[in-house]
């Protein structure tokens, strides 16, 4: 049964999680769940456990050091807190196969923070990969052949941006 107390506890965990991600306080973020797990649904990539999740944080913050969010809505379900938000940042470092473009992005996303009681077990993220790629690659000069090579590399790499086996 989802009580007002449980809803408040879960919401605090999620909001603390978001706040600490923006501040890049990784130990604090990881303290919000006993076994960290991120599922990136559009790419099929799962980061499971402390080591993999910390690497995910490092990789994304090298690519997007100013990454932050704007909350749109927060909803509760029986086993999850569902957040709609904009993810924003600037592409200042390599993102998998895509070298830094310097382009800013703003992509609408949904994250399901899945709970077992008051324990966060997983963050499952949904977003449109093509919208994201369009913003990262939108400033390319297609009069230059190198832009086409970069575009092909990026599209090929987005099949599996982490290089890990898809689950």
Give the domain ranges of the chain. 4-157
Which residue blocks in 26-83 are alpha helix, DSSP H?
A: 26-30, 50-63
What is the edge-to-edge ordering of all strands in the sheet holding 104-116?
45-48, 37-40, 119-127, 104-116, 80-90, 68-76
CATH code of domain 4-157: 3.10.450.50
How sure is the predictor about 102, in pLDDT bands with cuts at 50, 70 and 90? confident
Of the listed ranges 34-43, 100-109, 130-139, the one predicted with least confidence? 130-139
Give 95 or 126, the one with higher predicted confidence. Answer: 126
Specify the pTM: 0.86
Angstrom distance (rounded) from CA 142 to CA 140 = 6
Map residue 6 onto helix, strand or coil: helix
How sure is the predictor about 161, in pLDDT bands with cuts at 50, 70 and 90? low
What pLDDT score does 167 carry?
A: 42
């Amino acid at each position: 049964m989802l009580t007002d107390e449980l809803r408040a506890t879960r919401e605090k965990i999620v909001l603390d999680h978001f706040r600490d991600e923006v501040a890049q306080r990784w130990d604090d973020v990881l303290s919000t769940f006993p076994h960290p797990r991120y599922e990136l649904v559009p790419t099929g990539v799962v980061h499971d456990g402390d080591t993999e999740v910390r690497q995910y944080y490092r990789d994304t913050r090298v690519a997007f050091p100013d990454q932050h969010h704007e909350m749109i809505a927060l909803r509760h379900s029986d086993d999850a807190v569902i957040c709609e938000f904009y993810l924003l940042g600037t592409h200042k470092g390599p993102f998998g196969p895509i070298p830094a473009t310097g382009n800013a992005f703003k992509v609408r996303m949904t994250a399901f923070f899945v709970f077992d009681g008051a324990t966060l077990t997983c963050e499952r993220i949904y977003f449109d990969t093509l919208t994201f790629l369009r913003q990262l690659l939108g400033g390319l000069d297609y009069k230059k052949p190198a832009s086409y090579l970069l575009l092909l590399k990026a599209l090929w790499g987005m099949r599996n941006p982490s290089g890990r086996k898809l689950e």
